[in-house]
Amino acid sequence: MQDDRLPDDRLIVALDVPNIVQGLELAGRLGDTVSFYKIGLGMLTGGGFALANELKQEHGKRIFLDMKLFDIGATVEAAVRGIAQYDLDFLTVHGDPQVVRAAVEGRSGTGLKILAVTVLTSLDRSDLDANMIRAGDLSEITIERAARALEAGADGVICSPQEAAAIRALPQALGRLIVTPGVRPAGADLGDQKRVATPAQAIADGVDHIVVGRPVWRAADPAAAARAIVAEMMSPQARAPNR
């Protein structure tokens, strides 16, 4: 059971701010409330790698580098090998099996966890049609992509909370991580997310980590917002068995 005296690392706060200065300022306001941060492509040109290293090495935070790498195998392997030197915790790549295998080879010998992106939580079936993705139920495609990525060696997957329970039930998911963006506290603005759930529902469905950005960093008191999300994750609804 989570010790309520410690930060709950099931909550990953997305530092979706423009640069390292604002990232450090936000991390300072959150203080000991948050122990795990996501740094993505939007921060890359604003000092993202430097911020990741400073938060990890000087502040003892866990770091999820959300790069969503996708390229030929040799390029992905080389990129991951370079990133793995930073002693970070999670790295995302696209869930295509050949990409996952290359990433796993690149991180060899390190503790970096490779997470495979299934279908972005900002997409729905109409978006897949526009992108010429094969016909079929979006959830079924997401679950199939998750299974294939896990078979290729991914340490876990990124999926919407709406597919989390079905992915957790996969035999390939035993002992693997499920990390979900698209999580919004009850009553929060959905923003550009289309397939969402509350923190309590995501945890009840077998998610290991939830990623929350705007509901925290746009709040007047980010630390209070983060504590409220943790309280939702520890509520009876989060501990209830799946229905």
Name the residues annotated as catalytic.
Answer: 68
What's the rounded Cα separation, in Å, for the pair 88 and 95? 20
User: What residue type is assigned to position 60 of the chain?
Assistant: G
Give the CA radius of gyration of the chain.
Answer: 17
User: What residue type is assigned to position 232 of the chain?
Assistant: E
With CA atoms as reference, report the closest residue to 206 among 168, 240, 234, 180.
168
What's the rounded Cα separation, in Å, for the pair 188 and 185? 6
Cα dist from 120 to 35, 143, 225, 231, whole Å: 25, 13, 25, 27
What's the rounded Cα separation, in Å, for the pair 70 and 83? 14
What's the rounded Cα separation, in Å, for the pair 114 and 117? 10
With CA atoms as reference, report the closest residue to 176 among 203, 207, 197, 201.
207
Q: Map residue 52 onto helix, strand or coil.
A: helix
